[in-house]
Structure 1
Amino acid sequence: MAAEDLEWERSKISNQDMNLLKKLGFTKKENTLRFPSEESYPSPLMEYRVSFVDHLIRGLSPPIHEFLRGLLFVYGLQLHQLTPNSILHVSIFITLCECFLGVHPNWALWKRIFCIRRNGAHGVAYNIGGVVICVRPDVEYFDVKFPDSVQGWRKRWLYIHEESSDSVEYNIAPFDGKTKILRRRSWDAEGEKLATEALMTRIRELQNTRGKELSGIQITTYFLRIRVQPLQARKNPLWMYAGDEDVERISKDLPVKDLEKLIRRMSKLSKKDIIPTSCRVAPYSGANPLPEPLMKEFIRLGTQFVGYRDHTKKLEGELAEANKRASALATKLEQSEKARKKAEADAAAVEDLRKRLHEAENSLSENIEQQSARETEILTRLESQSRRFVRRTHQEYEVDGPEGDEL
């Protein structure tokens, strides 16, 4: 059995987990979630994907947000390969963009702030949760105070309904628990600094304005409080949030006790730490709309590098160029193969000719030797006859036709 198969075991979702999912509004729509029965290895239906309870409570909900779809596509990952803390990073980022920057999730800004790396422990490379999203070491970003590890999250898996799109890059890849995690150049690709400098300046202001400092915990608390899942595909961005009657809300307000318990579950905050009841900076919403000049500028910046489309188009262009080069190489290879076969045929013909020439030379040499032997024999006989003739006639006989010879 392969190592990646050993990571999966029968899902262990407790009654407490089920009550939490119900309270958070995930079971309100029929067929949104499906729970495994006795299978020890995921086998989702056609339009379902494998996810985890801890992904859902950190902002994930089907149908999945376009930005997360693009992130998985560009990085070449499956949903189950992201850790819960990585999912929370994406939720906070989308909330930051839509509620405090006033832009759609910006792919160039994401690449400037984040990179990803392999996840493992004690020499073991994970497949489930095998990738971690990290803040780049040279970037000042919100300290979210994530827990060092999330206990038992890999055992609490389930199926979420995911609608398919006609475009491949907009789809979550079908589940494959054996898919290897392969490092890509996109893992370390940096965002455009010049294009995102205005957004980074705004982030620094949000972090450092005295008395109005914004924190990662405040952002997390905010999206949990308004009951809109950042990683769910939505009709409206969060800067248009309409309050209690907003159509994107998946449940009613959580009791304060449940909200605080949830925050402590996904952070390092203890019971002694105070959970923020509001953000020090008012988020943009229907009640606090974007200022007109700021809205125009940030929407311009946001749409310049929205999501991952530019990156996808670039990848498609590179792929088309690679296909052209591959076709050209294939043509050259075919021509080379034909030339090789012709050269081999010519070489075989030359070799045959050389062999025949060698045989002819040997035959000629033998004929010459035979002719020479015959000539020698004839000369010997003539000399013998000449000696007999001299004895009889007492006259010298010259073989080469002597002058004045009467004979």
Structure 2
Amino acid sequence: MAAEDLEWERSKISNQDINMLKRLGLMKKEDAIRFPSEESYPKPPMEYRVSFVDHLIRGLSTPIHDFLRGLLFVYGIQLHQLTPNSILHISIFITLCECFLGIPPNWALWKRIFCLRRNGSHNVTYNIGGVVICVRTDVDYFDVKFPDSVQGWRKKWLYIHEESANSVEHNIVPFDGSARIQRRRSWDAEASEEEKKATEALMSRIHQLQNTRGKELSGVQITAYFLRIRVQPLQARKNPLWTYSGENDANRISNDLSVKDLEKLVRRVSRLAKKDPIPSSCRVEPYSASNPLPENHPTMSSLPPLPEDGEVEEQAIVAEDTQGSSIPESEVAGSHKSAASHEKEVESEASESTQSLPPAVSPRNKRKRTDAEDSGTSKAEEVVPSHPKAAYDPYVESLVSSDDEEEVPTTDVAPRTSTSRTVLASDTLVEGEETSPPQQNVVTTTPPSSPLAPSPKRTRVEKIVEPAPQLGSSSTLLLDDPMIKDLLRIGSQFIGYREYANRAEEKLAEANERANALARKLEQSEAARKKAELAASKAKAEADEAKAKAAGVEELQKKLEDATAALDEHKAAQASREEGILKRLKTQSRRTFTQTNQDFDLTNPVNDPVLDALSYLELHGSEIREGVSNASAVLSALFPYFFPKKEEPATFLNLAKMFNTPEDLGLKMRQENMKVAVENTVALVADSRQTIDWMKVGDTEQIEQSRWRSLIKAAKPNTKKILAYLGIKPASTPSSSRPEV
């Protein structure tokens, strides 16, 4: 088993993580996810791949997006070798391209923004999460606010079902835990001049999204957006995100999360604290079905090379000693928005995992890495300052050398005397072993390092001076005695090291002076740091106060807009109501005019359509009331004559109905009057005491109308006297009597 394999441990996934995966819709299918049982090393079943809980909640799903598949192929890495924050980097980039730039994820744009770096310290390299995606130092990118530490993510591994898409048999490379991470030329691939020119408008749009006052877009907003709409950016989808249609979109993997679950998830994948608000929406409206792309919008297509395209030149492996294996210090300081410059993705137990040997480092490019690189961040490397070449001093070098650094071979030093010889010894002296005094004026190929900085280990040059043989067997035997040899060697060492001890004391004094100077600078830096922290806290308080005021102003503006909208709606409803009232008033006025044939002109109009129409209606109403009053008086006077045996109704309407009958009341009245007249005529004739043949008079068939009219005309002068006698005043109009049938 390779050294990297020992990083794997038994999977430890909590019930809380399982419930979260269920709510996210990642376990909707029965065989979508399988959890390891007792194995401490992944052995995925057929058609399954190894993944992590923290990868899935950051936008990963199968089948994976072609852009992610191309990245894995071009960079020559496996899915488990990416850190969670690197996965989130890719999700944010795809969402940015599709929702805010209106293009598919663009490989040329990616190369302008990102590069790849190894994740590890100077003596540790990782296989799980062994590479990180970093923002280039010269690029201004979104402030993603990655968490400082993703605790225990390496222990939460599981198996995800591989689904085929687009007729590709396997989207993810089969799992190989023993595959070593090898740096490739593609890790630092840059966009060509033609690609830079083609993507210049996209970079300008990104800067505009970042810096538009009041409409700034951030990485947290983009993350919250794709988590809110329930679409996994790293999944191969039927439609791009700029066609997202809402709740019924085909790319959604679950229903909307509750507000509590969404806030908890956003805070888990970001560095937001509990007091920080979760963005409920993006300040820039993303493209979707409700906000379609503009007409003639260019959709630039640029994918990284895929496995089916064949081998690419960028996959060439380069030696670690010719390329920096982590982010330079200038990049960390200059790109505060880079995810890899901040993230500490290794848990507290990472020190227990097996540490693989670091790659060899060239003395020309040797860099110093901080221990913080163990936490998942590619940290800065410091170049050891060089000094002018000097004679090699093994005693001083032994004081300042470090046993933790790599061995760098040096050239052998030629002996100054013919009786001396060189011996290559280990860097750590064996107890009781001593070396001969070093030679003066020895020139080495490697310059000594600063007394305060670790220097590369050197092979010690040991010179053993053999004493010249003396005459006589006793002298020869004495010189051959091992103890005498040791005494001679110790004596020569003592004599040689006295001078070096004096020189070392001088250098130590110089080192102390430099240390004191550095201590003073450190105190000054600490004071400056405290002052900067105080200023930063004041600035943060002012920013929070300004943010609160801005929030209050925005709330007031929203309330004012709502009130304005409500007032406009009320005005529209009032106008519609007045229009209806005016229409009804005009209709009533026309109907009254047609019935009474009486029109009016207002003497003092108020020039208000409703009030003037109401005035017209009041005039018509006054006329109608007067007419009804007169009609009621007339009908009341005529009622006893037409209906002598009935009681007069109390209301005018019922009174009018009594006179509005099918029969002719006038004809009936005249007939009654004629009956009375005939009876009175007979009575008058009888009172004249004339003999009349009433049988002949009653024979009306013998009466001629002309003769009848002439007789009536002749009788009129006498009838006036009779009517006057009876108390009836005849009308001044001529009589219109006629026979009534």
- In structure 2, the partner of 1:194 is 197
- In structure 2, the partner of 1:32 is 32
Do the aligned residues in 1 keep the contact of 2:78 with 2:173 (CA within 8 Å)?
yes
TM-superposition CA deviations, 1:217-238 (whole Å, max 9, x none): 0000000000000001100000
* Percentage of identical aligned residues: 76
TM-superposition CA deviations, 1:77-118 (whole Å, max 9, x none): 100000000000000000000000000000010111000100
For 1:272, give the aligned amino acid: K
CA distance in 2, matches of 1:48, 1:129: 20
- In structure 2, the partner of 1:308 is 304
- In structure 1, the partner of 2:102 is 102
Residues 204 and 13 (structure 1 numbering): CA distance in 2 closer, same or farther, change over 3 Å? same
Asked if residue 16 in structure 1 is aligned to residue 42 in structure 2, the reply is no
CA distance in 2, matches of 1:318, 1:86: 20
CA distance in 1, matches of 2:65, 2:206: 23
Instruction: Tell me how many residue pairs correspond in the alignment.
Output: 312
CA distance in 1, matches of 2:136, 2:148: 18
Do the aligned residues in 1 keep the contact of 2:51 with 2:159 (CA within 8 Å)?
yes
Shift of 1:121: 3.9
Asked if residue 255 in structure 1 is aligned to residue 267 in structure 2, the reply is no
- In structure 2, the partner of 1:146 is 146
Do the aligned residues in 2 keep the contact of 1:69 with 1:169 (CA within 8 Å)?
no
- In structure 1, the partner of 2:228 is 225
Do the aligned residues in 2 keep the contact of 1:74 with 1:312 (CA within 8 Å)?
no
For 1:279, give the aligned amino acid: C
Alignment RMSD = 2.1
CA distance in 2, matches of 1:112, 1:311: 22
Residues 245 and 193 (structure 1 numbering): CA distance in 2 closer, same or farther, change over 3 Å? same
Asked if residue 212 in structure 1 is aligned to residue 228 in structure 2, the reply is no
For 2:304, give the aligned amino acid: Y
Residues 318 and 262 (structure 1 numbering): CA distance in 2 closer, same or farther, change over 3 Å? closer
- In structure 1, the partner of 2:248 is 245
Query: Unpaired runs of 5+ in structure 2?
Result: 316-741
- In structure 2, the partner of 1:124 is 124
Do the aligned residues in 2 keep the contact of 1:66 with 1:170 (CA within 8 Å)?
no
CA distance in 2, matches of 1:273, 1:318: 42
Which has the larger displacement, 17-26 or 170-179? 170-179
For 1:274, give the aligned amino acid: P
CA distance in 1, matches of 2:310, 2:101: 26
Shift of 1:169: 11
Residues 65 and 310 (structure 1 numbering): CA distance in 2 closer, same or farther, change over 3 Å? closer
Secondary structure of 2:146's counterpart equals: coil
Please say which structure displays the higher CA radius of gyration.
2
TM-superposition CA deviations, 1:136-167 (whole Å, max 9, x none): 01001001010122100000000111235798
Do the aligned residues in 2 keep the contact of 1:69 with 1:170 (CA within 8 Å)?
no
**TM-score in terms of structure 1 length:** 0.73
Asked if residue 4 in structure 1 is aligned to residue 4 in structure 2, the reply is yes
Secondary structure of 2:247's counterpart equals: helix
TM-superposition CA deviations, 1:297-335 (whole Å, max 9, x none): 2x1xx22x2x1149985845899xxxxxxxxxxxxxxxx
- In structure 2, the partner of 1:387 is none
Residues 73 and 318 (structure 1 numbering): CA distance in 2 closer, same or farther, change over 3 Å? closer
For 2:288, give the aligned amino acid: S
Secondary structure of 1:67's counterpart equals: helix
Do the aligned residues in 2 keep the contact of 1:111 with 1:190 (CA within 8 Å)?
yes
Shift of 1:122: 6.3
Which has the larger displacement, 259-268 or 221-230? 259-268
For 2:236, give the aligned amino acid: A
Residues 239 and 9 (structure 1 numbering): CA distance in 2 closer, same or farther, change over 3 Å? same
- In structure 1, the partner of 2:59 is 59
Query: Unpaired runs of 5+ in structure 1?
Result: 320-407
- In structure 2, the partner of 1:347 is none
- In structure 2, the partner of 1:84 is 84
- In structure 1, the partner of 2:277 is 274
Residues 276 and 39 (structure 1 numbering): CA distance in 2 closer, same or farther, change over 3 Å? same
The ranges of structure 1 where at least 4 consecutive aligned residues each deviate by more than 6 angstroms after the TM superposition are 165-170
Do the aligned residues in 2 keep the contact of 1:61 with 1:231 (CA within 8 Å)?
yes
Residues 121 and 147 (structure 1 numbering): CA distance in 2 closer, same or farther, change over 3 Å? farther
Asked if residue 171 in structure 1 is aligned to residue 174 in structure 2, the reply is no
- In structure 1, the partner of 2:430 is none
**TM-score in terms of structure 2 length:** 0.41
Do the aligned residues in 1 keep the contact of 2:185 with 2:314 (CA within 8 Å)?
no
Secondary structure of 1:55's counterpart equals: helix
CA distance in 2, matches of 1:213, 1:312: 40
Residues 311 and 35 (structure 1 numbering): CA distance in 2 closer, same or farther, change over 3 Å? closer
CA distance in 2, matches of 1:48, 1:308: 24
CA distance in 2, matches of 1:275, 1:83: 24
Residues 252 and 36 (structure 1 numbering): CA distance in 2 closer, same or farther, change over 3 Å? same
Residues 271 and 317 (structure 1 numbering): CA distance in 2 closer, same or farther, change over 3 Å? closer
CA distance in 1, matches of 2:211, 2:111: 22
- In structure 2, the partner of 1:162 is 162
TM-superposition CA deviations, 1:363-387 (whole Å, max 9, x none): xxxxxxxxxxxxxxxxxxxxxxxxx
Do the aligned residues in 2 keep the contact of 1:47 with 1:164 (CA within 8 Å)?
no
